[in-house]
Amino acid sequence: MKTDFDGAWKRALLKFLPHAFRLLFPDAFERIDWSRGFVFLDKELERAARDTQFPKLRVDKLVRIYLKDGGRLWILIHIEVQSQRDPKFALRMYVYNCRIFDLYGRPVSSFAVLADDSATWRPERYERESLGTHIAMQFPIVKLKDFERRIGELERSNNPFALVVLAHLRTRESNRDNERRFYFKRELIRLAYRSGYTKADIWELLMVIDWLMVLPDNVEKRLEPELEALEMEKEVEFIPYWGRRALKEGLKEGLKQGLQQGVQKGLRLGRQEGALKTARENVIDALRAHFGSVPAPIKKSVKSIEGLAALKLTLKHAVTSSSLDEFKRALGK
C-alpha cells in the first residue's frame, strides 16, 4: 500500500481547518471570524480550474469565510498543499486566484503549504512584466520542513493539527524503513490518545495517521495490543486496524467516485476480513466516525442484523444519516 499524502491532507483540512490556520498561518487565523462558520466550495474550485493549463487539482481547498473586521461581507481563501517541487507552482497560484476572483467578484486570499523535502524551494511570489505592464502577486507560504526544528513543540502542542504535521514529517523521515515507521506511528497514536482531544478528533487523527504512515499488515498488527490498551484507558471501544482501513478506503473511494461506490468498496474489504462479523463492525465504525460515539442499544441492533445485503443498506444509512435518531428510524424500517 502506498502512502496517500493527498488523501490525508484533504481529510485533515476538511476536519481541522481552524486548527490548521492557528498553527500554520496564525496572523490570518486571528483575523478570521471562525464563530460565523465557513463553507467549503470544492465544486466551485473545480469550475475555476476548468479550461486552464492546470486542470488537475491536487490538494486544493476553496473556503468562504468572514473576517472579524469585514462586517457582513464574506471573502474566499484558497489553500494548496504542494508535496513536490513544481517550476509553475507560483503561476498556478496566480491563475487560480484570478479565476476565482473572476467567478465571484470577491477578494481571494491564497495560502500555500509546501510539503516537499527541499529546504530552499520557497515560491511565494508570481511576477511578470511586458512593455511597461507589471503584474505581481505575493502569497503566504509555510514550509513544513521548517517544523523539523520544532518537533518537541509539535509533540507538546494542544493543537490537533500539530499531530498532522508531525505525522507528515515522520512519514517522510521513515521512508522505506518499516521498523522506524512502526516506532513513530506508535508514538503518534499515544500522543493522540493522551493529549485530551475529543473522541471524534482522536478518530479523525487515527484516520489521517493511517493514510500517511502505511505499514505492512504483519507490522501493523503489532500495534493492536497497545492501541487496545489505550482505548480501554480512555473508555473508547477498541477499533481494530482492519476496521479503520475499511472505513478509510470507503471514504477515500467516496471522495473519488461518489458515496455509493465508497460504501461498496468498504463492504468488499469487510467481506474479505470476515463476512458478516466484519460488515457489522464496519457499520459501527462508520457510525463512530460520523457521530463520535454509538449507544449500546444501537450496537446491539446492528450486531443482530443477518445478511450482507441488509448490512450493505445499513452501512449506507450509517454514512448518510444526519443524526443518530435518523439512523435509528432507518434501522427500524
Query: Residue 306 — pLDDT band, cuts 50, 70, 90?
Result: confident
Q: Which residues does 241 contact at the CB level (< 8 Å), separation at least 6?
A: 210, 217, 220, 221, 223, 224, 227
Query: Residue 55 — pLDDT band, cuts 50, 70, 90?
Result: low
Q: Residue 37 corresponds to which amino acid? A: G
Nearest 5°: the CA angle 190, 241, 179 is: 60
Max distance between CA atoms of the chain, in angstroms, equals 75
User: Any idea where the domains of the chain sit in the sequence?
Assistant: 26-139, 239-333
pLDDT tens for residues 133-155?
999 999 999 999 999 999 999 99
- Flag whether pLDDT at 261 surpasses 60: no
- Flag whether pLDDT at 328 surpasses 60: yes
Q: How far is CA 183 from CA 173, 187, 197, 228, in A?
A: 12, 6, 22, 17
Residue 126 forms beta bridges with which residues?
A: 137
pLDDT tens for residues 171-211?
999 988 999 999 999 999 889 888 888 877 888 898 899 88
Q: How far is CA 12 from CA 161, 208, 302, 306, in A?
A: 8, 7, 29, 35
Mean pLDDT (whole number) for 70-96: 89
Alpha carbon 329 to its chain centroid, in Å, reads: 30
pLDDT tens for residues 201-220?
888 898 899 889 988 888 88
CA distance linking residue 51 with residue 315, whole number of Å: 38
Q: Which residue has the cell 507490522?
A: 219
pLDDT at position 288 = 78
Mean pLDDT (whole number) for 313-329: 80
Q: Which residue has the cell 450509517?
A: 318
pLDDT at position 200 = 79
pLDDT tens for residues 100-110?
898 888 899 99
Residue 304 C-alpha cell reads as: 443482530
- Flag whether pLDDT at 272 surpasses 50: no
Average pLDDT, rounded, for the chain: 82
Residue 32 forms beta bridges with which residues?
A: 67
User: Contact at 8 Å (CB) between 99 and 48?
Assistant: yes
Mean pLDDT (whole number) for 252-259: 49
